[in-house]
Structures are given as structure tokens and as C-alpha cells.
Structure 1
Amino acid sequence: MDAEGIVADMFTVQKTMGQVLCCMCGISMPPNAANMCVNCIRSQVDITEGLQKHVTILHCPECSSYLQPPKTWIKAQLESKELLTFCIKRLKNLNKVRLVHAEFIWTEPHSKRIKIKLRIQKEVLNGAILEQAYVVEYVQQENMCDNCRRVQTNPDQYVAVVQVRQHVSHRRTFFYLEQLILKHGAASQAVNIKQVHEGVDFYFANRSHGSKFVNFLGSVVPTLNRNDKQLVSQDIKNSTYNYKYTFSVQICPICKEDLICLPPKVSSSLGNLGPLVLCTKVSTNIMLLDPFTSRHAFMDANQYWRVPFRPLLSGRQLVEYIVLDIEVNVGLITVGGMKYSLADAQVARVSDFGKNDTIFNVKTHLGHLLNPGDYALGFDLYGANTNDLEMDKYKGLNLPDVVLVKKSYEEKRQKKRGKPRPWKLNNLPMEVEPSSKGRTEDAKEVQDYEKFLEELEEDQEMRSKIALYRNKNYQPSETASMTDGEDGPAVPLEELLNDLTLEDDNEQEDEEMEG
């Protein structure tokens, strides 16, 4: 730095802010537009004047919702963002000030009081901006909403019922549908849920809720809908009518792992697919796969219900085979997000061991999964007595002896049978209709639920659509062998992390230690 710069710095005048005296109390302070200190301004002006400090709100104890006048009920939990927004909107004249911050003040949950601390700003006295905090107390008055009042008055009273049916011999579809409903909260407005033969009934207090639920079902599975209404009462003078609405929803009877003989019209419309095909996936569309050529096609609900058909054999008729030899013909290909590989295989029924030496030479799409010595599940067309009208329409149709469907892990699962899984599923609050068949029907339902859980362990794509929760009764020491990957498919722990409440568990452990 040169000499001129040094001299300039020596004679630079530092800017300082002067002090003035408050016109009220005479204290020295930085100057402002009002020439008054903060304490004197607050003594002269109260920016919270005219703002509400006590508010009464209506709360429904049954569904934990709050009344937003005139008729809207908003569901909100204590100290949630939704409740904070609701409470702030209930304040009058708050638009005259600027809201800077808002937070809850803890109160006893059973005190029927909610306290919120607000920090506001307002321009006063010649442009001076004053900031002040104050507390608003909300008093809860218990008052049932219309839906809860109707349910409490008569629990069997409803406006709309959605009757969901699927005419098949198992309930695996409803187990999967139940998890989708829980994840998306589709039945949150239902006043009652009843399990009946071949289906479930959902009761709603509003027709729009039932219609919305029907639309949800159509977005996850192929359905056929129809609706009807019945007059309950009418008032001729006021021209008002009360109806009960019934929505009938029929789910497509085609399920995953079903063997199907396509009708000639359907086969022709799908590019001469099949006619013997497997159903590999059911969502809004039905995925059909030819296990001998790996050709596939998709059918939506409209296509199916235009020419409906039934499965030739269902998943309950699968037979276990052992793979004696396998030779892969075509490399790995991806069909509809799923991988297949064509191969020639020699298989024998497990039940034939020690009785005969019957061996079947088959073509299969599971060449990438099966190895000599593995077990597979398939349909035994060699010994099955099939009676399907669609097959008679094909002249000269030669049926294969065996159609393999999937790899079997039954032998490995025997080691874990009866032990708790590290995960679990939630269930709908459902009333179960007493079964006329007694224990036999109940045992079949338990078996179907176990098959559904095993299917979840094998199918990662299906698991991604539902919510899995940690099982607190699971002891890692009991099933430590699962970690080595030799006991069949299992759900990885990382898929459960989104549903774990580790912080809550740690807090509970700390409370127990302190106790």
C-alpha cells in the first residue's frame, strides 16, 4: 500500500449511529420513526387488540375430526400440521397483522384445551414495526359429526353398500385386495365391513363414498360393475326422497397361476395365442403367457367381460414334481417385467417315487430357475380329468402331459413352518359371517392365507404394492438360518425399514429403564 492510501485511511471518518432520548421515559436509544423505546411503544400500543384469544371449536370424539363451518369436518391429530392450519384459519381479523410464527403449547390431552403461541408484526406510530407474541386458547366441545351420529343411533343404518364378489374356490384375491385397501385408505369412510361367502360387503353412509370405492376397485383389479337403488322413504310436500344404493362388483375369476384354455374368438383376437396359456399377473390387465413359446398378451376388463371364460385348472390343483434333467434352449428374455427362459426338462411326480418310474418330457418357461434336483409345481394334465367346452372347439388339440408353473420351495419351508415371520400384515376391522361348512371351510381359509404369505415372499413386485410391518414377536435366533439364503425366499429387512418405528421403540425402552 502506498503512502497516499495510508494517509487516506488515517483520515477516514467511521460512521456511527447517534443516540436519542425517548420522548416518554428519557432513556437513550437508537432513533426510530416514533422516537419512543420499545417498552413505551408497547405500553401505548397493543397490536393484539381486536384479535381473538379464546375460541370454541367442535370436536367429534369418535373419528377425531373438527368442524370447519358450516358443514365440513376435518380429521386432524393433536399437534399436527393439519390441526395447526385449522386453528389459525378459525381466528378472525388475523389478516390485519402479519403472522411470523405459530407453535403449539403442550397441554394435557384430556383437558379439552389447545393452546397456540402466535408471533405477529404490525406497523404502528409513523411506520415503526412492532413484534409481539400472544397465546390463543381453544376450548373443545364434544359434538358428533353426522356420520358418527348416524352410526351410533343405528349401527346397521347405511346409505350405500358395495358387494364385492369373486366366484372362485379360494380367497387369495381378497387377501391381496385387503392390503391394497389398507395402504390407500380406500375403506376409511366405511361404517361397517362384513365378510360373506365368496366376497366382502362394504357399507357406507354416503353414496359418493361407495361410488369412489367402486372406482378404486376398478383401478386395481378387472371388475364388472352394476348398481341399483331402493326407495326407503319420501316426503311429497318437500319432494325429498331417501334411497339405499347397492353397488355390485364382480371380480374376474381368472387368478395368478391359473391354467386357461382360451376360446377360439379370444385366441384369434390375441394373435392366435395359445390356446393353452398361463395367467402370470392380474392387475388392471390380465397377463397371459404361452409357456411353450414365451408369447404373451394383455387383456383389460372390457376385453375379458366381452367374452368371459373360466380357468381350466386353478392353483389348488398344482402337483409337485422333481426335475431330473433340464436343457436350456433360448436365453433369458423379459416378458411384461418378468424373466423367462425356454427349456426342455425331464420331470417326475414326487408322489410316484417308490411306486412307478413314470417320467415326463416337457417344455417349460422356467429354464432360468430350475436345475436338476429342484422341485417344481405344475398341472398334471396326464392324469387330470378335464371337462372344458372350449377345448372341444379345437379339433386335433394335443395337450401336454405336464405344464410347469413355478419353482417349489415346499421342502425348505417345512423347516420354518409354524415359526413367526419377521414381518406381518394389518387387517381390516371385518365382521366374519359364520360359515355353514364349519371347520373345513375355516381350515381352507387358513391354508389360503398361508399360500398368500408365501406368494408375497416369492414375488417382490407384489410386495412393493402393499405395506409390510415388523413383527415384534419375531426372534432372530429362532430362524437364524434364514440369513444364509438356503431356506427359500424371504422378505429382506430393508423392505421393512419404511414401516419401522425405531425412534418410538427406543423411547419406550428408555421409559421402561427409567421405570
Structure 2
Amino acid sequence: MQSADLPGLPAGPIGTFTPQHTTGHVLCCLCGVAIPPNPSNMCVNCIRSQVDITENLQKQVTLLWCKECERYLQPPKHWVRAALESKELLTLCIKRLKGLQKVKLVDAGFVWTEPHSRRIKVKLTVQAEVMNGAILQQTFVVEYVVEPHMCMDCTRANTNTSIWTACAQVRQHTGHKRTFFYLEQLILKFSADQQCINIKEMHEGVDFFFSNRAHALKFINFVQNVVPMRYRSDKQLVSHNEHSSTYNYKYTFSVEIVPICRDDLVCLPHKASAALGGFGPLALCTRVSNTLTLTDPQTLRSVQMDANAYWRHPFEPVLNSRQLVDFVVLDVDTAGAPSGRFVLADVQVAKASDFGRNDRTFFVRTHLGHLLHAGDNALGYDMSTSNMVNPDLEAAAEKGFTVPDVILVRKSYEEKRKRRRARGQKRPWRLKRMAMELEDEAGGAPGRGREQRGGPEGTRREQDMERFMQELEEDPEMRSKMALYRDPDYDHAGDAKLQDSAMTDDEDGDMPEVPLEELLDDLTALHLDEEEE
């Protein structure tokens, strides 16, 4: 018999009845509201009115913050660097909250506050077991009051700048500062000077002072990754406690950068040339990073030489960039296919100083075939009139090596730059500088105007800085490693009018410039302007 034969029953075989379960409700023991049964027999609102799982948690905590180094104190004596609303700061705030181990932390996040209010608010969600095993979840806000408190490192630095534990003495025995300008920009971009308590500019270099030996080693490791160098260390005993067997030392690290710079002409010793596969012996230094890039302008062959290879067979430059001579390009004939970023070419040049005096010209093979055209100016070394005293070059000449009369180094844009300066055009960008004390201003205020130093030294410094900025304009790869900022004083409208009122700019068409999209906004300057308003 089927169930359909019986009235009132659903179709299907007899004996397949499926019961339907319904959830029962109970009344809250306090307010009488129907609720699903739970171990406490109370609704959520009544449980919250009877139990507060956050009553033993702090609602206001004090954070100590050093405004000099912008670090927060993590008791007992560790100082942590953390930005606003960062993961590091959130971790620090949660660790400072007492009693949090008695509950389960479910969620945490910042509540927005005014940046200058010295208040940090954190919204926390916690869970805990209450009456008869019921789980209660609550959300509350903890307010952290930020109080300024100078850390011990900054206290020592501001009390007496001569109190230091480690000193890195960076030196390069050259006649210009372009390498240090390059190193300075890298240090600023990667904030490698954050742990410095004082920076002092010395003869042929800079001294960096640290309150900790580990900070000095970290800085030296950074310098070693960006420029070819070697260093040695020494320590001096300052004090000794016989009862606790503790020693107090001062550490000094002597860092020597390879004295070879970009555009220098070098002559490799025989052993160094043989180690590089017979390269050279005469070569141009075309790039300086953590290695030296040497290029033979006659063959376009390039090699990389690291600091260890250099110090095994050290050598000095035959001629440096201060001895460059201006040449005028008369004719260019490309002699080969491109090799890397250079093109081999045969060029006819004449010294700019010989125009109107004689008709002497030179036929030169150069690596600048991709840049030079007839009528351009180029800077190079006049080997026919240079007074060179180099034993390695003399030894190479005795073995049959022929020294070329002229070696071109780079294309010159000086005439075009002079025309722009005459029109009053300025660069729309600028560089940041480190706050340094001068050697003759020991004990003076750090960060005084270094370019204000008068005399021949100040003039050379300005020339080196100008040449360094020109290198940044001419070399995009070098420029990509640094941070260039928009000049807030640059008048875009006035500069556009000067360009429109000038005569044809076809002559200045290939003038190297920094694209505006590569420039950064100086947020520090903007922040200071807002505070002044």
C-alpha cells in the first residue's frame, strides 16, 4: 500500500517519515527576551551589562618619543624607529598594553587622529570566556599619549659632540670632491647617515662619528657596496673597571677610496694588464660604482676592476679631469658597430686655442661616435704636449706601445650652458646636502654654508659641484641612483618666456637636461612651509 492511498498523507512508501527539527528558544533570565539557549541563559546585552572583559585592560598608555631621532622607547632601554600608522608602531603599542594576555586578541587597527595631536588611538577587538563557558567579544579604544623624551644617544650627541664610540674616516687622495658628492647623494637617498651623531668635513675626506661600533660597521658595509674602497680598524682603551672587568674602547675605521675617478686617464701596470687578459695599458675610467669600469677608446674593449684587484696592483691616474683641453670637431667618420653604449669613430679635431694661430689638426680614434658631429666641442687630453712622468707608461712605450696624440673623453656642452646662463635660465632641480662641520669650524654649529668658504678652495668646490651636476644631466644611469628634487624657487613661467624670446634653440637641441618626471617633491620643505603658515 502506498501512502497516497491514505487521505492526508504525502505520496511515498509507508515508513519513510522524516521528522523536522526546530531550534528551541529560552527566555533570558534577566530581561525575558527569547534567545537561543547558551550556558549563561542570558542575552548578549545582559551579559555585557553584567560582565566587562576589558575592565582590567589599560585605556590610556604613555609612549616616550625622542624628537631628535624619531624613535620610540620599548622598555626597558631599547629604542625602536617606527612611522605613524605602521606595523612596527602597532606592534609596539600592543606590547605596551598590560593585561592583554588574559584575553584573546582578535583584531587591532589605528583610529585616525591629528598628526600633531601627540595622541595615538588603537581600536582593539578581544574575546574572553565568561559565565559558564560563554564567549564574549568586545571592542574598545586605547589612547596612547606621546611624550617627548630624549634618548641617551641623542643626549650624548647634544651634550658633547666629542663623545663618540666609533669613527669612520673616509678619505680619497684626489684633487677634487666629485666622488664625495656622489657618495653623499647615495647616503642621503638610502638614509645611511641616520645613526651618525656628527659629520665633519676634513681635508681629502669626511669623518662620520657613531655612538656604537655596530653602527659604524653597518655604514662601512654600505660604503663598500657603492664605491671601491678598503679599510682597516684600530681601537684605543679609554677606561677599565678592574672589579667588573669591563673595558671601554674607542674604535677608528680608516676608509680609503680608490683614487681613480671618472674621466681619469690611467696606465695599467704590466701585472694588472696581464691579470685583465692583456687589456690596455692606456685606458679611460668611464664609470665608478663598487667597481671601476675601464674602457680602451681605441678598441671599445671594457673591463671591470674591483677594489681587491686594484689594491693588488695599485696605480695612479696619468692625467685627470682638471687637465682636459677643449677641441673642436671638424669631421666624423663612424668606424665600427656600437659596442655597449659607445660607438667607435675616426674624428678630425683641432684645439680650440689654436684657431687663428695655426692649422694644426689631429686624427683621433674615439669611443664617442654616437655623440660627436662636425662643429661640436669635445674635451680630451693633449698627449703631445702633456708633461707626463709615469714609469708604467714609459715601460709600455719601450715595448712598442704607441701613445696617441689626443684622447677624447667626453662631449662638451659648455658653450650652450653659457648661452643659457646668459639668458638667465636656471636648473629646475636641486640636490639635498648633509649637515657637516668644516675642519676649521670644530666646535661650530653643524650645517653652516660650506659653499660660503672663500678663496681658491671655495672656488674649486663650486667648480667640482657644478661638474657633478653636469654629470647627472648627461648620465641617466648615474642619475637613476640618486634623488633629485624640484626647486621650489624655480619660475616655470619666467623660464618659458626666456625660451620663447631667445633665438632659435636648434643649437641647444641636444643639450642634456633632467626630465621633470624624474624629479621628486621635497616633502620636508613643504612641511616646513605649512608650519610657517
TM range (shorter): 0.7 to 0.9
- Residue 368 of structure 1 aligns with which residue? 370
Pair 491,66 (structure 1): closer, same or farther in 2 beyond 3 Å: same
Pairing of 1:66-465 with structure 2 (within 5 A): 66-95=72-101, 96-104=103-111, 106=113, 109=116, 113-125=119-131, 128-334=134-340, 339-394=341-396, 395=398, 396-417=400-421, 419-434=425-440, 438-465=454-481
- The answer to whether the 8 A contact 2:113-2:119 is kept is no
Pair 322,17 (structure 1): closer, same or farther in 2 beyond 3 Å: farther
* CA apart distance, 1:127: 5.6
Of 477-486 and 163-172, deviating more is 477-486
Pair 192,356 (structure 1): closer, same or farther in 2 beyond 3 Å: same
AA aligned opposite 1:412: K
TM-score, normalised via structure 2 length: 0.85
* CA apart distance, 1:167: 0.7
For 1:217 and 1:17, the matched residues in 2 are separated by 72
- Residue 3 of structure 1 aligns with which residue? none
For 1:434 and 1:141, the matched residues in 2 are separated by 38
- Residue 488 of structure 1 aligns with which residue? 511
Please say if 1:475 is aligned against 2:496: no
Deviations 1:426-446 (A, max 9, x none): 1111112249x9511101101
- The answer to whether the 8 A contact 1:412-1:487 is kept is no
Deviations 1:187-218 (A, max 9, x none): 11111001111100111111111122112111
AA aligned opposite 1:489: P
**Residue 500 of structure 1 is aligned with which of 509, 521, 528?**
521
- The answer to whether the 8 A contact 2:33-2:43 is kept is yes
Of 261-270 and 286-295, deviating more is 261-270
* CA apart distance, 1:71: 2.3
- The answer to whether the 8 A contact 1:105-1:117 is kept is no
* CA apart distance, 1:487: 5.6
TM-score, normalised via structure 1 length: 0.88
Report sequence identity in percent.
55
For 1:416 and 1:389, the matched residues in 2 are separated by 44
Pair 17,191 (structure 1): closer, same or farther in 2 beyond 3 Å: same
Deviations 1:8-44 (A, max 9, x none): 9xxxx99998765432112355665644332211012
Of 361-370 and 446-455, deviating more is 361-370
AA aligned opposite 2:304: F
Pair 245,414 (structure 1): closer, same or farther in 2 beyond 3 Å: same
For 1:279 and 1:220, the matched residues in 2 are separated by 16
Deviations 1:261-317 (A, max 9, x none): 111221122122121110111111111111001112111111101111000111111
Of 478-487 and 364-373, deviating more is 478-487
AA aligned opposite 1:148: C
For 2:358 and 2:71, the matched residues in 1 are separated by 69
Deviations 1:449-497 (A, max 9, x none): 010001001111111111111211122234334999716111112222x
Pairing of 1:10-29 with structure 2 (within 5 A): 21-28=27-34
Pair 91,357 (structure 1): closer, same or farther in 2 beyond 3 Å: same
Provide the aligned length of Structure 1 versus Structure 2: 495
- The answer to whether the 8 A contact 1:261-1:312 is kept is yes
Instruction: State the Cα RMSD in Å.
Output: 3.1
Structure 1, gaps ≥5 residues long: 1-6
For 2:471 and 2:23, the matched residues in 1 are separated by 77
* CA apart distance, 1:399: 1.4
Pair 353,293 (structure 1): closer, same or farther in 2 beyond 3 Å: same
For 2:526 and 2:309, the matched residues in 1 are separated by 50
